[in-house]
Structure 1
Amino acid sequence: MRAKGVSAVSENSLFLPNAVFVSDSTSVTDIFHEIANQLSAEKLVKKQFLPEIIKREEKYPTGIDLSPVNKNLPNIAVPHTEGEFVNTRLIVPVSLMTAVPFKNMIDPDQELPVKFLFLILNNDPAGQANILAQIMDFLRLTPVANLQELFKLTEPDKIYRFLSEHFK
């Protein structure tokens, strides 16, 4: 797991340069462990975040099949937990070097190979759906070629720059 950058960013941004990750882990639990450790070190999440995000992902899967948007796009997941376990409002992008199986949000009996996470941190309970809607709008409105470029990036600083420029 690698994270780079500095935490200087505008108040309105949903991204921080030090909260963008590239992971070579091959299981959901390992990914969550790595991310939670880094986010905790940055004081972005509370101690209970890790067990809660694991529990929530098991109960309410977040894998999303992007083939209806375009069959050439990889699947994503949007893991999150309740606002009481986080200290901020942020999207944490995670590029996965190897596809990792996540259960499908629509059909939990189906596993999807996922290559990219948009992990949602939101300490505003009323805003959870809003951030998810913003992510879905980004995926729907961004040209497929641009999304393919994003999903191929393997350097945190380049992922941060791309999202800072394209996520509106």
Structure 2
Amino acid sequence: MRAVDLELFKPELVFFDFEAANSDELFEKLANELAPYGYIKDSWLAGIKKREETYPTGLAFETVSVALPHVDPEHLNKPYIAVIKPKEPIAFRGMAGIDGDVPAQIIVNLGLTAHEEGQVAVLQALMGVFLDTDAVSRIMAQTTPEGMVETMRELCS
């Protein structure tokens, strides 16, 4: 069994040129995108902000800076993986051991209803993708939701 349910990548969950001054604003805008599709509960926004404050998710890889924010399952109606390529990098606090902010060029928001082990496996798979220079180039070159979904599914399979 693969670590990532590839069906969680969907065109409706890919956002380009997202504009946000900070991670809180990104989450507020993302909530407005996810709610109409029934992915999230009313508690999602407060839940993801609190989790990001407690467990920051910014990571600086050799070729790209990313954020992998996720939320606890009780804030979800159904699982999803959203991919956000902001217009300008958005500052996220660095993950454990990283001082300061990371200017995230791509954000992968995990809304997983699986247990903690499943979430860790997905995070590990994504980290492997972002360590691969060629994979990062392919992701950053995407300009359509369908292309991003196809690329992410292929890279995470």
TM range (shorter): 0.7 to 0.9
Q: TM-score, normalised by structure 1?
A: 0.81
Residues 1:162 and 2:157 aligned together = no
Q: Judge conservation of contact 2:64–2:105 (CA < 8 Å) in 1.
A: yes
Q: Which amino acid in the other structure matches residue 110 of structure 2?
A: I
SS class of match (1:20): strand
> Which residue of structure 2 lines up, in the alignment, with residue 59 of structure 1?
54
Aligned residues: 151
Equivalent in 22, 31, 36 of residue 26 of structure 2: 31
Equivalent in 83, 87, 94 of residue 73 of structure 2: 83
> Which residue of structure 1 lines up, in the alignment, with residue 126 of structure 2?
135
Q: Which amino acid in the other structure matches residue 51 of structure 2?
A: R
Residues 1:42 and 2:42 aligned together = no
SS class of match (1:80): coil
Q: CA deviation at 1:137?
A: 2.6
Q: Judge conservation of contact 1:78–1:120 (CA < 8 Å) in 2.
A: yes
SS class of match (2:45): helix
Unmatched runs of 5 consecutive residues or more in structure 2: none
Q: CA deviation at 1:157?
A: 2.9
SS class of match (2:82): strand
Q: Which amino acid in the other structure matches residue 56 of structure 1?
A: R
Cα RMSD between the aligned structures?
1.9
Alpha-carbon distance between aligned partners in 2 of 1:36 and 1:164, rounded to the nearest angstrom: 23
Consecutive aligned runs of 4 or more in structure 1 exceeding 6 Å deviation: none
Alpha-carbon distance between aligned partners in 1 of 2:82 and 2:98, rounded to the nearest angstrom: 23
Unmatched runs of 5 consecutive residues or more in structure 1: 1-10, 68-72
SS class of match (1:17): strand
Q: TM-score, normalised by structure 2?
A: 0.86
Q: Judge conservation of contact 1:61–1:108 (CA < 8 Å) in 2.
A: no
> Which residue of structure 2 lines up, in the alignment, with residue 7 of structure 1?
none
Alpha-carbon distance between aligned partners in 2 of 1:25 and 1:152, rounded to the nearest angstrom: 21
Residues 1:148 and 2:137 aligned together = yes
